[in-house]
């Protein structure tokens, strides 16, 4: 989406690697995945890419047999089609949370355990109750550790929309990279941005201790922020991070692709 602001060098990389939205709209796929991005405004309607994203979602609901949306894209969909607004949280929801499978007979969760680990990373949430009232089917809801609902579905005619409030597609180090980004904003932002909380359910005790010691150095305020930022222990922590969600995420996507194949066959 060209409406997303990017530095010139990043924009050039995007132009060289990716095809444009217009080409996609002219050749509907059998299945579509729309991932999220970090919001810059309190209202999605104020994001510069909102008109293009809304157009894409409306087109998908009419032309694509099966669509999967992650995080901000899922929030955008319920705002566009149902008028459901996001609700800001008291703190950022970041970590790996075990979602509770609500209906083990749903084909989306075939061969998955009753508790499914899903990465979450967001400030805003859509209340599960609002989804249910609007006619969505919550397939993976919030588990004992919180984190909010993880997977919900709805049909537009015979077009399947699967919404994930989390990020089953995240790589092993995605949450660590986002945490590092948030730490950088605190250190170089002159105190304008609060220091981030550690991602929950993601780090072992050793890694958490390393990052907590770094946070104590930042709170002390005795070091130059730029030099301190350069000393962030990313590599030291990265080698300790395990991935608990890749295998169940692969099963989830395989289940979704099976549904997409069936839907595509119906549409010829």
The reply to whether 194 falls in a domain is: yes
Which residues span the domain enclosing 44? 14-170+243-266
Query: Given a cut of 70, is residue 268 above it in pLDDT?
Result: no
- CATH code of residue 102: 3.40.50.880
Whose structure tokens read 């919030």?
A: 142
Do both 166 and 261 map to the same domain? yes
Do both 76 and 195 map to the same domain? no
The reply to whether 44 falls in a domain is: yes
Asked about 71 being catalytic, the answer comes back as: yes
CA distance linking residue 107 with residue 139, whole number of Å: 10
Identify the three-state secondary structure at position 69: strand
Query: Given a cut of 80, is residue 190 above it in pLDDT?
Result: no
Do both 143 and 188 map to the same domain? no
Identify the three-state secondary structure at position 32: strand
Query: Given a cut of 80, is residue 98 above it in pLDDT?
Result: yes
- Confidence at residue 81, expressed as pLDDT on a 0 to 100 scale: 97
- Confidence at residue 192, expressed as pLDDT on a 0 to 100 scale: 73
- The answer to whether 260 and 31 are in contact (CB under 8 A) is yes
Do both 143 and 191 map to the same domain? no
Do both 46 and 105 map to the same domain? yes
The reply to whether 9 falls in a domain is: no
The answer, as to whether pTM is greater than 0.85, is yes
Query: Given a cut of 70, is residue 71 above it in pLDDT?
Result: yes
- The answer to whether 228 and 187 are in contact (CB under 8 A) is yes
Quick: pLDDT tens for 26-46: 989 999 999 988 888 989 999
The reply to whether 141 falls in a domain is: yes
Q: Which helix (H) or strand (E) holds 119?
A: strand 115-125
DSSP type of residue 141: E
Mean pLDDT, rounded, for 89-115: 94
Do both 228 and 139 map to the same domain? no
Do both 104 and 181 map to the same domain? no
The reply to whether 40 falls in a domain is: yes
- Confidence at residue 172, expressed as pLDDT on a 0 to 100 scale: 98
Asked about 93 being catalytic, the answer comes back as: no
Joined together, the tokens standing for residue 249 give 């995420």
DSSP type of residue 44: G
Query: Given a cut of 90, is residue 210 above it in pLDDT?
Result: yes
Catalytic position from the list 47, 75, 120, 169: 169
- Confidence at residue 229, expressed as pLDDT on a 0 to 100 scale: 95
Do both 179 and 107 map to the same domain? no
| Mean pLDDT, rounded, of the chain | 94
- Confidence at residue 209, expressed as pLDDT on a 0 to 100 scale: 98
Share of the chain above pLDDT 90, in %: 82
- Confidence at residue 17, expressed as pLDDT on a 0 to 100 scale: 93
Catalytic position from the list 47, 120, 167, 178: 167
The reply to whether 4 falls in a domain is: no
Asked about 267 being catalytic, the answer comes back as: no
Do both 179 and 111 map to the same domain? no
Total count of domains within the chain: 2
Query: In which band, very low, low, confident or very high, does the pLDDT at 102 lie, cut at 50, 70 and 90?
Result: very high
Catalytic position from the list 71, 75, 93, 120: 71
Joined together, the tokens standing for residue 53 give 């994203």
141 forms beta bridges with: 100
Burial 105-131 (b: 16+ CB within 10 A, else e): ebebbeebeeebbbbbbbbbbbebeeb
Cβ-based neighbours of 68, under 8 Å, separated by 6 or more: 31, 32, 33, 34, 162, 163, 164, 256
Query: Given a cut of 90, is residue 263 above it in pLDDT?
Result: no
- Confidence at residue 255, expressed as pLDDT on a 0 to 100 scale: 97
Do both 253 and 131 map to the same domain? yes
Query: Given a cut of 80, is residue 194 above it in pLDDT?
Result: yes
Mean pLDDT, rounded, for 210-231: 96
Do both 197 and 135 map to the same domain? no
Query: Given a cut of 90, is residue 2 above it in pLDDT?
Result: no
């Amino acid at each position: 989406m060209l409406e997303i602001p990017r530095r010139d060098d990043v924009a050039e990389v995007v132009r060289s690697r990716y095809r444009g939205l217009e080409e996609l709209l002219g050749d509907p796929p059998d299945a579509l995945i729309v991932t999220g991005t970090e919001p810059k405004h309190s209202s999605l309607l104020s994001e510069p890419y909102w008109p293009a994203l809304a157009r894409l979602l409306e087109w998908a609901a009419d032309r694509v047999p099966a669509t999967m949306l992650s995080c901000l894209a899922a929030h955008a969909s319920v705002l566009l089609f149902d008028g459901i607004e996001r609700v800001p949280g008291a703190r950022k929801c970041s970590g790996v949370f075990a979602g509770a499978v609500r209906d083990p007979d749903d084909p989306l969760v075939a061969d998955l355990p009753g508790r499914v680990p899903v990465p979450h990373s967001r400030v805003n949430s859509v209340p599960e109750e609002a989804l249910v009232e609007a006619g969505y089917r919550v397939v993976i809801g919030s588990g004992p550790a919180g984190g909010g609902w993880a997977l919900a579905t709805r049909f537009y005619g015979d077009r399947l929309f699967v919404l994930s409030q989390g990020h089953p597609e995240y790589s092993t180090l995605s949450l660590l990279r986002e945490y590092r980004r948030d730490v950088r904003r605190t250190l170089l932002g002159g105190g304008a941005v609060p220091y981030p909380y550690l991602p929950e359910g993601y780090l072992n005790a050793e890694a958490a201790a390393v990052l907590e010691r770094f946070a104590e150095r930042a709170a002390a305020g005795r070091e130059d922020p730029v030099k301190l930022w350069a000393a962030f222990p990313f590599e030291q922590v990265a080698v300790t991070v395990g991935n608990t969600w890749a295998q169940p995420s692969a099963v989830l996507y395989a289940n979704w692709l099976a549904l997409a194949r069936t839907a595509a066959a119906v549409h010829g």
